[in-house]
């Protein structure tokens, strides 16, 4: 099936010539607009009605392949998406989704909308309207996150609210809660209240200090099946005569804590805390 580009579509342009660094341009097509690059100007009109995988040239003859944009392209390379906070990247999206076994029909709560990157990912997976409730403390972040999601045309399967409104959620009505905030231990008791029995709580934090404090609170509040993971992704150079890891250092993202709501606290968990004040 052909994927002919139309007005409003997102496309990504990849140079077919050698560049000093990896370059990708992601744009939202609009009739009459032009993309200015260091390698020439490209008219949006010349991309319209072409198929994904086609080749186009800038006004100085530089060739690019044009493909339909993935969500990662829209978030990382589209200039209209504002990064007001450190975002959660795809290498962690998959870990969270698989380890928490998040299903399309489940009721999900996100605490800490941030720039909206992870919410965008979840919204493309969830199967029905307004399943995801996302809560943000800062009014400006809330506003920008909504704008970001509108700009990249995310399906309207979410609602973003002020943090205090989480208290309005019915007890035991949520399947999954995800928290990406500096002090997640402050919301653990509220999360326990809104989760169903066995419901999953995922915490995303960047330091060992936060991991320790969060785990202690999780144990004391009645969460079990706790595990902490960190994801590693190593990209390879794909040049046929020299396939090897790229010359890039390890780039840290965060630690991901998984847990489940329980109505009892196992004795072995309490023993872990015997030396903690």
Which CATH number goes with the domain that contains 154?
3.40.50.150
Residue 148 inside a domain? The answer is yes
Same domain, 136 and 180: yes
Q: At what angle do helices 139-151 and 117-125 cross, to 10 degrees?
A: 50
pLDDT at residue 253, rounded to an integer = 84
Residue 104 inside a domain? The answer is yes
pLDDT at residue 2, rounded to an integer = 62
Convert the pLDDT of each residue in 184-208 to its tens digit. Answer: 999 999 999 999 999 999 999 999 9
pLDDT at residue 113, rounded to an integer = 96
Query: 15 is in which domain, residue-wise?
Result: 10-69
Same domain, 57 and 94: no
Same domain, 64 and 98: no
Residue 30 inside a domain? The answer is yes
Residue 43 inside a domain? The answer is yes
Closest Cα to residue 202, out of 76, 126, 98?
A: 98
Same domain, 213 and 265: yes
Q: Which two tokens stand for residue 88?
A: 């959660």
The share of the chain scoring above pLDDT 70, in percent, equals 97
Same domain, 129 and 192: yes
Look at residue 261 and tell me whether its pLDDT is greater than 90. yes
Contacts of 168 (CB under 8 A, 6+ apart): none
Same domain, 115 and 177: yes
Beta bridge partners of 205: 255
Same domain, 129 and 196: yes
Convert the pLDDT of each residue in 127-165 to its tens digit. Answer: 877 689 999 999 999 999 999 999 999 998 999 999 999
d(C-alpha 163, C-alpha 113), whole Å: 10
Which CATH number goes with the domain that contains 37?
3.10.330.20
Residue 163 inside a domain? The answer is yes
Same domain, 169 and 38: no
Convert the pLDDT of each residue in 75-120 to its tens digit. Answer: 999 999 999 988 898 889 999 999 999 999 999 999 999 999 999 9
Same domain, 53 and 100: no
Residue 79 inside a domain? The answer is no
Same domain, 225 and 185: yes
Report the predicted TM-score, pTM, of the whole model to 2 decimal places: 0.89
For the chain, give the mean pLDDT: 92
pLDDT at residue 250, rounded to an integer = 62
Same domain, 98 and 224: yes
Is 47:64 a contact under the CB 8 Å cutoff? no
pLDDT at residue 130, rounded to an integer = 65
Is 135:166 a contact under the CB 8 Å cutoff? yes
On the 0-12 / 13-18 / 19+ scale of CB atoms within 10 A, 192 is buried
Q: What is the domain count for the chain?
A: 2
Kindly state the DSSP code that residue 51 receives in the 8-state scheme: B
Residue 84 inside a domain? The answer is no
d(C-alpha 61, C-alpha 58), whole Å: 5
d(C-alpha 217, C-alpha 222), whole Å: 9
Q: Which two tokens stand for residue 129?
A: 């309207």
SS3 92: helix
Q: Print burial letters for 56-94: b (CB count within 10 Å at least 16), e (below 16).
A: bebeeebebebbebebbbbbbbbeebeeebebbbbebbe
Same domain, 268 and 135: yes
Residue 253 inside a domain? The answer is yes
């Amino acid at each position: 099936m052909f994927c002919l580009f139309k007005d409003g579509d997102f496309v990504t342009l990849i140079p077919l010539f050698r560049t000093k660094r990896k370059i990708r341009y992601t744009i939202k097509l609009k009739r009459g607009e032009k993309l200015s690059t260091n390698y020439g100007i490209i008219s949006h009109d010349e991309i319209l009605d072409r198929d994904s995988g086609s080749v186009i040239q800038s006004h100085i003859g530089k060739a690019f392949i044009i493909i339909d944009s993935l969500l990662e392209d829209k978030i990382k390379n589209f200039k209209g998406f504002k990064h007001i906070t450190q975002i959660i990247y795809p290498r962690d999206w998959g870990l969270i989704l698989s380890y928490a076994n998040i299903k399309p029909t489940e009721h999900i709560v996100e605490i800490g909308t941030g720039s909206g990157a992870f919410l965008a990912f979840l919204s493309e997976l969830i199967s029905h309207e307004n399943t995801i409730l996302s809560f943000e403390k800062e009014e400006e972040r809330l506003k920008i996150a909504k704008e970001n999601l509108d700009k990249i045309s995310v399906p309207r399967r979410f609602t973003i609210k002020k943090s205090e409104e989480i208290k309005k959620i019915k007890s035991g009505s949520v399947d999954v809660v995800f928290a990406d905030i500096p002090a997640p231990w402050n919301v653990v008791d509220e999360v326990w209240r809104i989760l169903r029995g066995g419901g999953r709580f995922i915490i995303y934090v960047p330091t060992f200090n936060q991991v320790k404090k969060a785990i202690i609170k999780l144990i004391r509040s009645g969460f079990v099946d706790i595990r902490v993971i960190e994801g590693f992704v190593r990209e390879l150079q794909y040049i046929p005569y020299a396939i090897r890891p790229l010359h890039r250092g390890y780039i840290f993202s965060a630690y991901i804590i998984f847990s489940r709501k329980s109505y009892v606290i196992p004795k072995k968990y309490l023993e872990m805390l015997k030396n903690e004040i």
